[in-house]
Amino acid sequence: MRYRGFSLLSLLVLCACATPYDPLEDYEEVEATTNIDAPEPQPGTFAPENRYQVERGEYLVELLGCGACHTGGALHGNPDMERPLAGSRIGIAHTNPLEHGYPGVVYPSNITPDEETGIGSLSDRQIANAIRAGIGKHAGRRITVMPWQGYARLTEEDLTAIVSYLRSIKPIRHEVPDSVPPGTKATNPYVHFGVYQSR
């Protein structure tokens, strides 16, 4: 009788010591900023007859939530409104956090008209392709975290309005980190988006 009691006690102690694997142990929940006022167009950057187009572009950029990713700090709930739409040094992981210890990470780009770090040197068509089809500067590859599927049905008129607006805002020099391939440790912070279901 004593022997059985000892065995049961040993089993209970072993079970209590075994810690289940928690894939989210190294993560904390953050409150992202979901809506950010789009910056005002700069005077003299568009012809008076294009005012409606630029104002519509501003409305659409706000409505589509572009600032929630493309403004530094917004992904952690603390947007840097000194540099709206100038890109983020907080990235977005695009691989499954339950499978990859070091996920692939993309850092939202600077979409102000700065020539060196923003979209100032891109053609209108390149900007439109990035918005509507998720095609970036990197050899036609899809931008993995850009919600282009939702923007694919934008009309040409709306796309032109967005491009006109982005060309009218203050250019801000702000470099964002390069993308990090899966399996490489990111040196800048990042968040995970995604919906996962149990198998």
Q: Would you list the domain boundaries of the chain?
A: 32-192
Alpha helices (H) in 26-123, listed in sequence order: 51-63, 66-70
Average pLDDT over residues 81-103: 88
The pLDDT tens digits for 140-151 are 567 778 888 889
User: Is this prediction's pTM over 0.85?
Assistant: no
Q: What is the pLDDT of residues 173-185, one digit of tens each?
A: 999 999 999 989 9
Per-residue model confidence (pLDDT) at position 48:
92
Q: Are the CB atoms for 110 and 83 separated by under 8 Å?
A: no
| CB-based burial label for 24 (10 Å; 0-12, 13-18, 19+) | exposed
Nearest to 115, CA basis, from 34, 175, 32: 175
Distance CA 189, CA 108 (A): 12
* Contact residues for 117 (Cβ-Cβ < 8 A; gap 6+): 86, 87, 110, 173, 174, 175, 176
pLDDT band, very low/low/confident/very high, at 6 (cuts 50, 70, 90): very low
**What is the pLDDT, as a whole number, of residue 11?**
41
Task: Tell me what pLDDT residue 20 has.
Answer: 63
